[in-house]
Structures are given as structure tokens and as C-alpha cells.
A and B are shown apart, each in its own frame.
Chain A
Amino acid sequence: MWDNQDTLEVTGISANGVNVNICIYAFKYTQSREEENILSIHNDWRENRPAQDEPPSALPPGTSAPDFTLHSTPDQSVSLSDFRGQPVILAFYPADWSPVCGDQMALYNEVLPEFRRFNAELIGISVDGVWCHAAFAKNRNLHFPLLADFEPKGTVAKRYGVYRRPDGTSERALFVLDAQGIIRWSYVSPVGINPGADGILTALEALKTEETSQ
């Protein structure tokens, strides 16, 4: 709301004899309660609105998996398209260093030989940065890449429909892609519950059965 605080009016005659009338107004802006509310609603909307190309929920089976390139180490990056021709497991998870032994990535690390029997590649993705991933992978002795969905934060998670806005992390979400890069199975677990590996193995088995029957 603008308030007129002061007005200065000057009247005179210019050098060439014309009457001149100059007014100077001073206004002060103060935010009314109502305006404050409108502004806060607008800001909330602006912060939380989905980007235009962002799906509202996890991409379903049958969708072509959006390609991406992310850093796996400070000087190396990995593109999804590098793995065309083999099944890929994308494991989005909220954060490195969850405080349990059998955390999701440590579990998948143990099950890796089973995934490899299906020639499947496993990729972990979180919004953590490369240095954090490096320390985590070393600590847990992980044998698969962790990608940093770090800058701009969560871009890939958003494109897959698995970004958690209030938390600023991704969901605990799994995607199994076939050799052509089509999503064949996806699952979003409650964020506090490690979904285990059984769903992934069942999906990989179904893929294999389909391939052999074709």
C-alpha cells in the first residue's frame, strides 16, 4: 500500500515568461496484512510449482527413460545412454550415510553378482555431491557408480518424477530399464523403508523371460 507522505509544490515563471507549476510527491510503501498474505501465497507457489516438464509422479512402465549425464567422480561423468543394450537399474535414494549397516546401497552391493547374472548395470543416484559419494562409496566398499544429482539440484530426480520438494532430496525410488532404455518397472518406497532387492530381481527375471520367449 502506497501512502502519500509529503507534497511540495513550486510555482514560478520561466526565463521565457511561461508559467511553471512543479509538484513533487513523496510516497512511502508499507505492506498491509492482506498484501503480505498474497505475497506469501505467491512465493509458496513459485517455490513449489513443478517445472513444466516435470511429471507429477514416478514415470510409469512403458515410458522411455529420459537420458542424463551426471558426475560419478570429480572428473568423470556417466550417461544413461552409455548402457544402451543392457538392462539398467536406477536406484534413487535420499542421502548417503543413512545410519544403518544394511542400508539400501550396501545391500545392493551384496546382491550385485545376482544383478550381473542378468547383465544388468546398477546406478545409484542422490543429490549428494561427488566428494560425499566418494567417501561413502569407499566406506561401504561399493562396486557400482553413485551419481551426483547435485547441480542444479535434483534435476534428474525431477525428470523421473521422484523429487521430494519439502526435503530437497529424491524419493527412495527404483526403475528397471530394458536394453532399449524403456522403463519396465518402477517403485517408490516409503522414504523410511528400504525396499530391498526382491522387486528388482523379479523385474529382471520377467525381462529375461520375455526376451527368451521372443
Chain B
Amino acid sequence: MTQESGTAKLTLPVGQRDHRRGPETAQVTLMEYGDYECPYCGKAYPIVKEIQRRLGERLCFVFRNFPLTQIHPHAEHAAEAAEAAAGQEKFWEMHDHLFEHQQALDDAHLVQYAIALNLDKDTFVREMTEHVHINRVREDFLSGVRSGVNGTPTFFINGVRHDDSYELETLLAAIEAAMNS
């Protein structure tokens, strides 16, 4: 049994269960395993936005949850909040909102954000209290663990783990290389 670095592969392929931004048939798929409370994911957030802006329809971006609950006390609830928003067709709005308000992710703020995004508050609160989306969050997490996610954020480009930095130039160059290959 061996494992080579740089060849970690996505074990759960992108599918209907995933939150996608960009066409399914895009030339390249960038996936992020992220944690809403992780400052490094916060740093990567505008970088991904810029890459999306530059590549437009040629890129499909997918986000999966990878909350590090032992170091980020609000990360799991924040992930559940984004999934609850997804139930009301507002996943990306919540995803963006959470990354833009990383410093305030306690439950009271999560409800405020749901209201700000015009979600049905009662449904949101009920789903949060009953942890309706926790299995989905854990499934994301485990799929990440089995795919060699080794911290947050971890990116996969067309299903292959990106082991280099996620600075704009580096990440963009890696994506463009995948497009041309």
C-alpha cells in the first residue's frame, strides 16, 4: 500500500448533490473543501471570486463543507446554515455572506443572515435546531477525508488535489494548465 503525494484524487465525483456555480460542461471544475470560520478560506474567498470573474463560463466552481469543529466552534453550524439556505435556493448567497462575515458566525447571527437573505425564517430556524442538514455536512467532510483533503482550504482541479499555494497567480495558472491539457 503506497500513496504518492500530488496525486490525491477526488473519491466522490461532482454530481447532482453538489452546489455548482458555472456550467456542468465547463472546461474545468475547481472544487474547494472549505470551512466558513477558517481565516485561510476567508483569504481564498476573493481569490476564487476573481478566478470566476476571469474565466466566466469556462469554469465550474463547486464548494463542499469541511468544518474543523474542534478549532472552529461555529464552523459546523455555519455549514448547516448554508445547506439550509440551499434548501431555499440561496446556497451561494449564504456562502458568500458567511465568508464576508467570518467574524460573527454564532447562531444569533446566522438567523440574522437568513433574514437578510429573505429566507423563510421559521423553516430556517427549525432546520437548524433539528440539524436537518448535519448528515449532508458530515458526508461532505468524510468524502474530503477519503480524497486526501489535508486542511482548509483544499482545492481539487478536475478531481486532482492542488498541492501548491492558492494565491491568485498560482491557482489560476494551475487551472489554465488543466484547461490546456
Besides A141-B70, A194-B151, 12 new A-B residue pairs in contact (Cβ under 8 A), listed by A number: A101-B151, A101-B152, A102-B151, A110-B141, A185-B1, A187-B3, A193-B5, A193-B163, A198-B148, A199-B3, A202-B1, A206-B1
Say which residue of B3, B147, B150 sits within 8 Å of A104 (CB atoms).
B150
- The answer to the question of A182 belonging to the interface, with a C-beta cut-off of 8 Å to chain B, is no
In the complex formed, the residue of B with least CB distance to A109 is B70
Chain A interface residue count, CB cutoff 8 Å, equals: 31
Q: List 9 A-B contacts (CB under 8 A).
A: A101-B39, A102-B68, A142-B70, A187-B3, A194-B151, A195-B5, A195-B150, A196-B148, A206-B1
Given contacts A110-B69, A140-B71, A201-B145, contact A100 B1 (CB under 8 A): no
| Most chain B beta-carbon neighbours within 10 Å: one of A142, A143, A199 | A199
Residue ranges of B at the interface with A (Cβ–Cβ < 8 Å): 1-3, 5-6, 8, 11, 35, 38-40, 66, 68-72, 141-142, 145-152, 154, 163
User: B residues within 8 A CB of A39?
Assistant: none
A73 to B5, CA, bound (A): 33
Q: Which residues of A contact B2 (CB under 8 A)?
A: 187
Is A197 an interface residue, CB under 8 A from the partner? yes
Query: Ordered nearest first, which 3 A-B pairs have the shortest CB separation?
Result: A102-B151, A194-B150, A196-B150
For residue B34, which residue of chain A has the nearest CB?
Answer: A102
- Specify which of B5, B68, B154 is in contact with A106 (CB 8 Å cutoff): B68
Whether a CB of chain B sits under 8 angstroms from the CB of A70 is no
Given the complex, which residues of A lie within 8 Å of B72, measured CB to CB? 101
Residues of B within 8 A of A101 (CB): 35, 38-40, 68, 71-72, 151-152
Docked-complex contact B151 and A103, CB < 8 angstroms = yes
A-chain residues with CB within 8 Å of residue B150 when the two chains form the complex: 102, 104, 107, 193-197
Known: A102-B68, A201-B145. A195 touches B3 (CB 8 A): yes
A206 vs B1: C-alpha distance when bound (angstroms): 10
Total cross-chain contacts (CB, 8 A): 83
Residues of B within 8 Å of A199, CB to CB, are 1, 3
Contact between B149 and A110, CB atoms less than 8 A apart? no
List the B side residues contacting A12 at CB < 8 Å: none
- Which A164-207 residues have C-beta < 8 A from chain B? 185, 187, 189-190, 193-199, 201-203, 206
A120 to chain B, nearest CB (A): 14
Measured CB to CB, the nearest residue on chain B to A189 is B5
* Residues of chain B with a CB closer than 8 A to A106's CB: 68, 70-71, 151
A187 to B5, CA, bound (A): 10
A164 CA to B3 CA in the complex, in Å?
Answer: 21
- A127-146 interface bits toward B, Cβ cutoff 8 Å, 1 = contact, 0 = none: 00000000000001111000
Contact indicator per residue, chain A 152-166, by CB within 8 Å of chain B (1) or not (0): 000000000000000
How distant is A34 from chain B, measured CB to nearest CB, in Å?
44
Q: Are A140 and B5 in contact (CB under 8 A)?
A: no
Known: A101-B39, A101-B152. A198 touches B146 (CB 8 A): yes
Separation in Å of the A127 CB from the closest CB of chain B? Answer: 22
Point out the residues of chain A lying under 8 angstroms from B38, CB to CB.
Answer: 101-102
Once the chains bind, are B8 and A100 in contact (CB under 8 Å)? no
User: In the complex, A103 Cα to B5 Cα: how many Å?
Assistant: 16
Within 8 Å CB of A197, what residues of B? 145, 150
